[in-house]
Structure formats: C-alpha cells, structure tokens
Structure 1
Amino acid sequence: MLAQQRKSIIEAMVKEKGSLKVSDLSEEFNVSQETIRRDIDKLQEECTNIVKIHGGVCYVSDNGVPSTVRKNLLVEEKLELAKISFFN
C-alpha cells in the first residue's frame, strides 16, 4: 500500500473514531510504528483537524477541542437536556 493511501485511510479512521493508537495502526497496516508516526506527522501538516498526541493521533473539532474530550464535557448538563427533551 502506498503512503498516500495509508494516510487517507488513517485520516478517515481518526475522523470516525476520534483517536487512534500508533500501535494499533501499525498492526492494522502491517508497517512499523515509525512509519505510522511519519504518516501522522505528514497528516498533521496537511490537515488542521489531525493532532499527534503521545502514543497516537486524535481528531480535533473546529473549536480546537478533541472529539474524545468534547463528548465528556458537560455530561450532567447534557443528561438534564436529554431528560427535558424526552419528557416534553
């Protein structure tokens, strides 16, 4: 598989899942972790929503907050809104 193909797939996977580990990507593509790190470095240069983190990569929303963090913010408030919406 060509590096560009691998980067495109990694980008799609990160957008879908929010974050990925270098080790998991290395196994998935059967390449070294260093190769994945280089792919992530290039992706980060090309795509402003992809951020390299310790041990992996994550997708950051337009407001700069990682999607994996955003879903854990204001949980109690979200539950209250859900209750109000459900019972009305």
Structure 2
Amino acid sequence: MRSVVQLFALRLLYFSLVFGVLTVAPLELDLMLRVLIAFAVSMVLSVFLLRRNRQEVAEKVVTTVDARRERRRQSPKG
C-alpha cells in the first residue's frame, strides 16, 4: 500500500510542479488550459520517471490478486 501512495504522491507532485511553473511563467493562459497542459506534461514525465515505481506497484497487485485467488481455492465451499 505504501508504494501505491508513494506513486500517487509523486504524480501529484509532478502535476503541482508543472502547474506552478505555468502559473508563475509570464504566459497569459486560461486556468483550464494550464490544468490541461500540466496534466499532459506530468503524465509524460511520470511515464519516464516513475517506471520503476509503476512496475513495483504492478507486481504487488499481481501478487495480492494471486494470493487471494489461492485462498479462495483452498477455502471450503459452504
């Protein structure tokens, strides 16, 4: 669970940083446009910079799902 929260926090940090830069920059952009640009740029950044974190989360999810399936198979049906 910690790695999922960490991944979410890092993605939120990237979004906040890009949005902050767009807000401070002397560009006359609408608020919604700044949000959309920040969202797109932070997605691209997270694809490259958070690859290891995403892979770790995916592995943990697969492990958890497999463990739950195994427990269901072993439990007696009532």
The structure whose residues are more often strand, as a share, is: 1
Shorter-chain TM-score above 0.5? no
The structure whose residues are more often helix, as a share, is: 2
